[in-house]
Structure 1
Amino acid sequence: MTSSSSLPVVALTLGDPAGIGPELIARLLAKPEAAATANIVLIGDRWLWDEGQRIAGTSVATDEVHSLAEVRGRANTARPAFLAVHSIDPALVQRGQAAAPGGRSVLRVLDRCMDATLAGEVDAICFAPLNKQAMKIGGMQHEDELHHFAQHLGVTGYFCEFNTLGELWTSRISSHVPLKDVASYVSVERIEQAAELIYRSLLANGVAQPKVAIAAFNPHGGDGGVCGREEIDIIEPAVKALQARSWPTEAPFHGPFPADTIFLKAQAGEYQAIVTMYHDQGQIAIKLMGFSRGVTVQGGLPIPITTPAHGTAYDIAGQGKASVEAMWQAFRIAGRMGTAHRLANHAPA
């Protein structure tokens, strides 16, 4: 029997009902080692959980709870807790299609998780893939789920999305914005904030000596100013300002490095994190290096939140062939960071 006093409470959600999320969660929870990692509570529709198990060919027993407040005090965490939440009727789900009912379902369940965060009932959240289009037509008023989380949780400081692949993490100072607007986001303040946030998040993930590389913005790092001055006027001053501060570990920040070579340094093990200037500067490299293993971490929120970096894979939803690897890695990161969160906020009894 595993005591809940030493494990973080990790909330799992089934994701977009029309995508591969339910079958991924079924495969994840069928892993015997999952229950040893966290005090798990699955939140969602009972019929959707059953459907996910049918597709995945699994049979995972759960312990029903009636509120998230019950989860932390469970004496035995060998089986996941299950909180049934009615978010969508089966008749409203058309597998493989982005639709408003599916988006509303995702928002309803995630908001329940946010409320549990504010109440101190969970230590981390790991959600199965969702679809931004479905969420927007379903009522989301923000550009992405990260901004939805931040507003719901009352975040006023800097936050950003991390993408991870094994031991390599990336962050960016601009995200889901048009490419023509990216230059306006390049500032000393944002670079410093993004670099510090990913550095401290790596510490929380158990990395003892994080090394963070800062990417250039222009081709060839600006070629001394003839191909853009952002490196000279903004990025280099930001790196120097970071280097001048005191940190828990030695010399954690370096750069700027041209974006077309920076990932070679990371692959060689020189750096555990890269701060990029815009979405595709890091995402293309990460997805080429390991699309099926990538994880997204929502950084700067009062609780760790993770998800696979891939999408809902509507084209293969329901076929039982979606890889669970990224979902598993997202869950493992949620467990590690949730442990740090638990130790900082809820000392074991």
Structure 2
Amino acid sequence: MRPRISIVPGDPSGIGPELIAKLLQEDGVRDAADILLVGDAHLWQRGAEQAGTDIELNSIDEADVPGFDGLGHLDLATISPEAVQVSEVTVAGGTTSLRCLDKALDLAQAGHVDGVLFAPFNKAAMTAAGLNAEDEHRYMARYLGFTGYHSEINVLDELMTTRVTSHIGLKDVASNIDGPGIERAIELAHATLARSGKTRPHVAVAALNPHAGDNGKFGREEIDIIEPVVKACQKRQMNVTGPWPSDTVFLKAKRGEVDAVVTMYHDQGQIAIKLMGFERGVTVAGGLPIPVATPAHGTAFDIAGKGIANVGATRQAFDLLVRMARNVNSEIAA
């Protein structure tokens, strides 16, 4: 089944519009899905100019969105051309980012598209424009009225990582780790892998302490908290192992022996996965009822407008999103 993917340009001051213009020229992209560009026409045209390519905007009215196919464009008026300041954090840039995202989420929630791809946002600009959330993932959940468990998932090729704690100080990590939190993270990794087409995925759980605590010498979190959850998940017939020392678990991941790694804190997984392939990394809004993905890198203000942005991660995000949307559609059809 051919999914429908809506794409929003991200922060116009960064490389987002350029990346999407390049994505649309990639082999196989337009064959893989029906694509709806959501955002101001001049943003897409600016991106094409930056990329040194042409973009064909087939603008349609919102009433015609349910029946569109191929490449369509839903024109919005969220920012004036004069307000776009390349390589600068602006309230206007944050405002257009939020309004375009809102519209794409509206379309997905109404069933008119099967997934949302957004080019990189700038959190400072979005916060200045009224984000009022820890990050765009919390914002999206609130906007959708979703109250279930959700978390950012990072993807590199066939490997996924998620984490038990996220944007908190390192000194607070141990006190914020508990059995239910670890179990939710494992379940989220397992469910997201299944949605992407993996059958019986192998989820590895990282330890918190060096040497996985060395039998309690360096802390008892592995013995008292992490290991009991792993065993409980195994009893539920989930393919889960650990806790593995965090300085070796990613060697197993790099060799393809596991499909996902659940880490205990933010940088435990981020450092490893970015070293393994920063230019290919993807971020998935794990747990949300709508498949949402974005390249894991930022707005790259240092190269914005120069036409040299690497489309690799954006293509990876698109391909993963198409795969997830297809699997969701297959489940619905079944």
User: What TM-score, normalized to structure 1?
Assistant: 0.92
Q: In structure 2, what is the Cα distance between the partners aligned to 1:323 and 1:99?
A: 24
Equivalent pair of 1:211/1:271 in contact (CA under 8 Å): yes
Q: Is structure 2 residue 308 aligned with structure 1 residue 326?
A: no
Determine helix, strand or coil for the equivalent of 2:173. Answer: helix
Q: Is structure 2 residue 149 aligned with structure 1 residue 149?
A: no
1:344: how far off?
3.2
Q: In structure 2, what is the Cα distance between the partners aligned to 1:55 and 1:30?
A: 14
Q: Is structure 2 residue 73 aligned with structure 1 residue 73?
A: no
Determine helix, strand or coil for the equivalent of 2:67. Answer: coil
Q: Is structure 2 residue 322 aligned with structure 1 residue 335?
A: yes
Q: In structure 1, what is the Cα distance between the partners aligned to 2:15 and 2:243?
A: 39
Aligned residue number for residue 9 of structure 2: 14
Counterparts of 1:46-57 in structure 2, within 5 Å, are 46-57=41-52
Equivalent pair of 1:162/1:170 in contact (CA under 8 Å): yes
1:304 partner amino acid: P
Q: Is structure 2 residue 227 aligned with structure 1 residue 240?
A: no
Determine helix, strand or coil for the equivalent of 1:64. Answer: coil
Aligned residue number for residue 80 of structure 2: 89
**Number of residues of Structure 1 aligned to a counterpart in Structure 2:** 334
Root mean square deviation, CA, Å:
1.4
Q: In structure 2, what is the Cα distance between the partners aligned to 1:145 and 1:137?
A: 13
Aligned residue number for residue 3 of structure 1: none
1:85: how far off?
1.1
User: What TM-score, normalized to structure 2?
Assistant: 0.97
What percent of counterpart residues are identical? 51
Once the two structures are superposed, residues 78-108 of structure 1 have per-residue CA deviations (whole angstroms, 9 ceiling, x without a partner) of xx11011111112222211122111111111
1:72: how far off?
4.2
Aligned residue number for residue 296 of structure 1: 283
Q: In structure 2, what is the Cα distance between the partners aligned to 1:326 and 1:184?
A: 35
1:239: how far off?
0.4
Equivalent pair of 2:122/2:298 in contact (CA under 8 Å): yes
Q: Is structure 2 residue 257 aligned with structure 1 residue 270?
A: yes
Equivalent pair of 1:259/1:281 in contact (CA under 8 Å): yes
Runs of 4+ in 1 over 6 A off after TM superposition: none
Equivalent pair of 1:303/1:341 in contact (CA under 8 Å): no
Mind listing any 5+ residue stretches in structure 1 that lack a counterpart? 1-5
Determine helix, strand or coil for the equivalent of 2:302. Answer: helix
1:178 partner amino acid: G
Equivalent pair of 1:173/1:275 in contact (CA under 8 Å): yes
Counterparts of 1:1-349 in structure 2, within 5 Å, are 6-67=1-62, 70-74=64-68, 76-77=69-70, 80-247=71-238, 252-345=239-332, 347=333
Q: In structure 1, what is the Cα distance between the partners aligned to 2:106 and 2:175?
A: 34
2:172 partner amino acid: D
Mind listing any 5+ residue stretches in structure 2 that lack a counterpart? none
2:5 partner amino acid: V
